[in-house]
Amino acid sequence: MLIGAALGLGLAAAVGFRVFVPFLLVSIAARGGQVHLAGGFEWLGSDIALVMFGIAAVLEIAAYLIPFFDHLLDTVAGPAAVAAGTVLMASTLIDMEPWLRWAVAIVAGGGTAGLLHGATSALRLGSTATTGGTGNPVFAMFETGASTAMTVLALLLPMIAFALVLFLIVRTVRMVGGFFRGITRRPGREN
């Protein structure tokens, strides 16, 4: 159960970078027997799922390479990442009661995907502000690479992926906390 949870959390983190790349790679792994899915999630390894995830991943990657359109896509991808992180996390929790599987998946999987997606969206805004959007395609390729690498790591070495996800969560929470501490300070007043 611990390996399944680590795998699910790694996949949820990967969804925070790209929604469909982890689904495509999980579909390939499920078809090849490298990953076992919880009951009711066998569809992830079906022919139709593989084709649809492949098309969706290619379109998603291409869309993020278009400056300013990437921000529009982010508004849709935010809620989609939370839902996708929840589904992928739930699909890996094999020996768990359904009510607990979904509770864990919503909190841990959806929360992780949403947190990391929000962080990358904020970084993309910074890229747009500093480069006028011309640096966004480079940032988009980094995100695609991070999603791919995290998915592969989760599939092959789930406990290492779990440790990396914990590190990313801590860094993101500190970054957000630092941002809010910075905007709440008043000029002329020491904290």
What would the pLDDT profile of 126-147 be if each residue is shown by its tens digit?
A: 888 888 888 888 989 999 999 9
Q: Which residue has the tokens 């790349």?
A: 21
pLDDT tens per residue across span 153-186: 999 999 999 999 999 999 988 887 776 666 666 5
Q: What does the pLDDT read at residue 148?
A: 97
The reply to whether 141 falls in a domain is yes
The reply to whether 190 falls in a domain is no
The reply to whether 116 falls in a domain is yes
Query: pLDDT exceeding 90 applies to what percent of the chain?
Result: 65
The reply to whether 183 falls in a domain is no
Q: What is the mean pLDDT of residues 11-40?
A: 95
The reply to whether 188 falls in a domain is no
The reply to whether 78 falls in a domain is yes
Exposure string for 62-86, b = 16+ CB within 10 A, e = fewer: eebeebeebeebbeebbebbbbbbb
> CA neighbours within 13 Å on the CB side: how many for 39?
4
Contact assessment for residue 23 and residue 4, using Cβ atoms and an 8 Å cutoff: no
pTM of the model: 0.88
The reply to whether 163 falls in a domain is yes
The reply to whether 186 falls in a domain is no
Q: Which two tokens stand for residue 122?
A: 């904020």
The count of structural domains within the chain is: 1
In which domain, by residue range, is 21 found?
A: 2-178
Q: What is the mean pLDDT of residues 26-31?
A: 96
Greater model confidence, 68 or 90:
90
